[in-house]
Structure 1
Amino acid sequence: VRWQPPERLFVKINFDTSFQGHLLKSFSGLEGRDSEGQIVGMRMILIDYVPSSLAGEAIACLQGVQMGLDLGF
């Protein structure tokens, strides 16, 4: 599987999350790229009191949407 850029005028935001269950912590990295593959935004997020890895992924997804809004997309 190879990364594909989004269509012109769109931004693609990818994220990945790690979860430490015994600490109830989630750490996520987000990266937004334009249609030319240029990075338009990055974030790293540490979240406390996360009950599961699924919850951590869901929070990262919401953070990705928020990042897109913050960037004006």
Structure 2
Amino acid sequence: MHEKASRTGKEIASFVNSYITELNGVEKKTPRISQEVRKWKHPPSQSVKANFDGAYDGRLCQSASRIVVRNSEVDVLLSSSKIHQEVTSAFAADALACLKAVQIRTDMQWQEIIIECDSLTIIKKCKEKRQDKSQKKEDIYLLGSVPRYAENQKEYDRVREPD
């Protein structure tokens, strides 16, 4: 007896079987999380690689951008972190980080640079010919190093895959 209703054994068995069938269907529809871990790959010998990312806080309308530039020997040539105010979306946060990576390339006058991110939307938008309307502010770079909190990741990335 459940919720003041009596059921026969046959009805309970039918309910349990349909519930198990439903659970099996949910299990099949559950997306599988890829266990593949993509490791950072160093740039060709005369190139440098700039990896950037943006983080967004919608409550405060702020974002943070971070950029790390490394050479083919995996040495950190430059790192940069910046807090941006009055940012309206996660896309804008990534766009500001991308803009910063491009500005670093111009400021440092590197001849060959690979700019890498994990945002397909940013990559597509960067290919557009429209004028950028974001604000440009003075920044500080760390030449040849990363912030103390990023040292462990720098050393982890230094370990290369066997050739």
Please state which band the TM-score falls in when normalised by the shorter chain.
over 0.9
Higher helix share: 2
Task: Supply the AA of the counterpart residue of 1:48.
Answer: Q
Q: Give the Å deviation of 1:68.
A: 1.7
Match of 2:94 in 1: 57
Structure with higher Rg: it is: 2
Match of 2:81 in 1: 44
Task: State the number of aligned residues.
Answer: 73
Task: Supply the AA of the counterpart residue of 1:2.
Answer: K
Match of 2:69 in 1: 32
Match of 1:19 in 2: 56
Q: Give the Å deviation of 1:41.
A: 0.5
SS at match of 2:80: strand
Report Cα offsets for 1:28-67 as digits up to 9, x if no partner. 1110001111101010011001110001101100101111
Identity of aligned residues (%): 33
- RMSD of Structure 2 on Structure 1 (CA): 0.9
Return the alpha-carbon distance in structure 1 between the equivalents of residues 83 and 46 of structure 2. Answer: 30
TM-score (norm: length of structure 1): 0.93
Higher strand share: 1
TM-score (norm: length of structure 2): 0.43
Preserved CA contact (<8 Å) 2:54 2:96: no
Preserved CA contact (<8 Å) 2:58 2:89: yes
Task: Supply the AA of the counterpart residue of 2:43.
Answer: P
Report Cα offsets for 1:5-28 as digits up to 9, x if no partner. 111211100112211011110011
Match of 1:72 in 2: 109
